[in-house]
Amino acid sequence: MAEVTLSNVRKTYPGGVAAVKDFNLHIADHEFVVLVGPSGCGKSTTLRMVAGLEDISGGTIAIGDRIVNGLQPKDRDIAMVFQNYALYQHMSVYDNLAFGLRNRRVKESEIDAAVRGAAKILSIEPLLDRRPRQLSGGQQQRVALGRCIVRNPKVFLFDEPLSNLDAQLRAQMRLELKELRQRVPTTSVFVTHDQVEAMTLGDRIVVMKDGLVQQVGSPLKLFRQPINRFVASFIGSPAMNFIEMALAAEADKFRLAADGVAIELPQARFAGLGPHVGRLVTLGVRPQHLRLGRARNGEQVAFSGNLMVSEQLGDEQLLAVRIGCGDIRVSGVDPELALAAGAKVDLAVAIDSLHVFDGSSGAAIR
């Protein structure tokens, strides 16, 4: 069990491509941290640097009290699950699990106990004699997890382990991972591009883009208080709606206007907007926060537009509504409600759940 500390970690590839720029993070003992971001944001590179599979161009990585910069992967006392499971195809499941322990010259009797223990935790006991290619994707994933827990390492590293599974199996494996965590609480770093995985698994989430950390925080904090437009758009499904608006000040209110849309916000609640008067800002509204109907004065603001498309999901409907300056998405609509395409729709959203971002930098304005 150990803490992991990354200080000013950089990775520049030959040719000058900076994959990771100045990464700082302290991961507490037993904490489960998820690195999330779009392809090429540097999340996998960061994980591989912790694993020792990539050299570090600058900064330090410490596992426990030990700086591991120059250490071989085998000397870092870590375990890793790969996207394609990376099971040793020419070995049985048993030998796959035992491989790491045999390399450490553990006694065969102890290995047997450890392998059977791990197999029991993951319910793969009947599979021990099989070869990896005789297993389904979910079973292979369990074996890969087993290979990690059997060694009892200081840190688990996960590199998009659920990406190769179909949607149903992925949801199931997510639950199994959470359950496994309760049984085997080990410091973990999990990389994914799927924000749902990030939200459901992480104690803390690190959102990355272009090699830079955008925001670090609990899932709820990231959802409720995104630090910039990128984080706001990345976290949450369906994604947040953004409307570019011009900001003006009127008496005790701020007035935000765009083509066909105008809303007023009380200055007292949005003091941060003051310096931005006369400039463009981006209004962010989560689809989940929009409700059909007219706005209650003071507490809510209103939009109105025409329904373009509705998508029936059974337990809810998703709507795309065209307001003057673009389409906005609405979720959580009563599935029984019959709406005709083109019909006029009134939408309301609580003032407290609005987000405003700087029009040029994208930083959140509070």
Partner 1 sequence: MTATETMPAVAGRNRFFDALAPGGRRALFVLGIIAVCLLFAFPVLWLVLTALRPGYAVYYVHRGTDFTLDNFHEVLSQEIVLRALWNSFAISTLATVLSLGVTVTSGYMLSRFRGPIPSVWFSAIYVFRCVPYVSWVLPLYFVTRALGIFDTYWGLLLPHVAVHICFFSWIMKGFFDGIDPSMEYAAMIDGCSRWGAFLRVALPAAIPGLTALAILCWLYTWNEFLFALILTAQNTPILTVVMAQFVHELGMEWHLMSATAVLSLGPALIVTVFGQKYVIRGLKI
CB-based contacts of 130, cutoff 8 Å, min separation 6: 92, 93
* Count of residues of this chain found to bind partner 1 when the rule CB under 8 A is applied: 24
Report which secondary-structure segment, H or E, holds 101: helix 93-103
Q: What are the φ and ψ backbone dihedral angles of 210, each rounded to 5 degrees?
A: 50, 40
State whether the Cα torsion 93-95-100-106 is positive or negative.
positive
Q: Can residue 103 be called a binding residue for partner 1 (CB under 8 A)?
A: yes
The β-bridge partners of 310 are 319
Least distance from partner 1 to the Cβ atom of residue 134, Å: 16
Q: Can residue 107 be called a binding residue for partner 1 (CB under 8 A)?
A: no
Least distance from partner 1 to the Cβ atom of residue 75, Å: 9
Site for partner 1 (CB under 8 A): which residue of 1, 55, 74, 178? 74
CA 46 – CA 56 distance, rounded (Å): 9
Least distance from partner 1 to the Cβ atom of residue 312, Å: 37
State whether the Cα torsion 324-330-335-337 is positive or negative.
negative
- Is 155 or 265 the residue whose CB approaches partner 1 more closely? 155
Q: Can residue 206 be called a binding residue for partner 1 (CB under 8 A)?
A: no
Least distance from partner 1 to the Cβ atom of residue 187, Å: 15
Least distance from partner 1 to the Cβ atom of residue 115, Å: 13
Count of Cβ atoms closer than 10 Å to residue 331 Cβ: 18
Touching partner 1, residues 132-161 (CB under 8 A): 147, 151
Least distance from partner 1 to the Cβ atom of residue 136, Å: 18
Q: Can residue 297 be called a binding residue for partner 1 (CB under 8 A)?
A: no
Q: What pairing do the DSSP bridges indicate for beta strands 32-36 and 187-192?
A: parallel
Site for partner 1 (CB under 8 A): which residue of 57, 82, 262, 292? 82
Site for partner 1 (CB under 8 A): which residue of 88, 248, 339, 358? 88
Least distance from partner 1 to the Cβ atom of residue 81, Å: 9
CA 142 – CA 243 distance, rounded (Å): 44
Site for partner 1 (CB under 8 A): which residue of 7, 12, 83, 304? 83
Q: Can residue 99 be called a binding residue for partner 1 (CB under 8 A)?
A: yes
- Is 164 or 304 the residue whose CB approaches partner 1 more closely? 164
Report which secondary-structure segment, H or E, holds 80: strand 78-81
| Burial label, 53 (beta-carbon count in 10 A; 0-12, 13-18, 19+) | middle
Least distance from partner 1 to the Cβ atom of residue 349, Å: 45
Q: Can residue 79 be called a binding residue for partner 1 (CB under 8 A)?
A: yes
User: Which of left, alpha, beta for 108 (phi over 0: left; psi -120 to 50: alpha)?
Assistant: alpha
Least distance from partner 1 to the Cβ atom of residue 106, Å: 10
The token duo for 218 is 């609990």
Half-sphere exposure of 153 (CA within 13 A, CB side): 27
Considering only the stretches 50-58, 121-129, 316-324, 357-365, report the one whose residues sit in contact with partner 1 under the rule CB under 8 A: 50-58
Give the chain's end-to-end CA distance (angstroms, integer): 39
Q: Can residue 176 be called a binding residue for partner 1 (CB under 8 A)?
A: no
Considering only the stretches 82-90, 110-118, 177-185, 304-312, report the one whose residues sit in contact with partner 1 under the rule CB under 8 A: 82-90
Contact 262, 326 (CB under 8 A): no
CA 167 – CA 173 distance, rounded (Å): 10
Considering only the stretches 26-34, 58-66, 96-104, 303-311, report the one whose residues sit in contact with partner 1 under the rule CB under 8 A: 96-104
Tokens 């029009």 belong to 359
Q: What are the φ and ψ backbone dihedral angles of 365, each rounded to 5 degrees?
A: -110, 125
CA 51 – CA 68 distance, rounded (Å): 9
CA 45 – CA 48 distance, rounded (Å): 5
Site for partner 1 (CB under 8 A): which residue of 2, 20, 35, 87? 87
Q: Can residue 233 be called a binding residue for partner 1 (CB under 8 A)?
A: no
Least distance from partner 1 to the Cβ atom of residue 273, Å: 49
Q: Can residue 296 be called a binding residue for partner 1 (CB under 8 A)?
A: no
Binding-site ranges for partner 1 (CB under 8 A): 51-53, 72-74, 76, 78-80, 82-84, 86-90, 99-100, 103-104, 147, 151
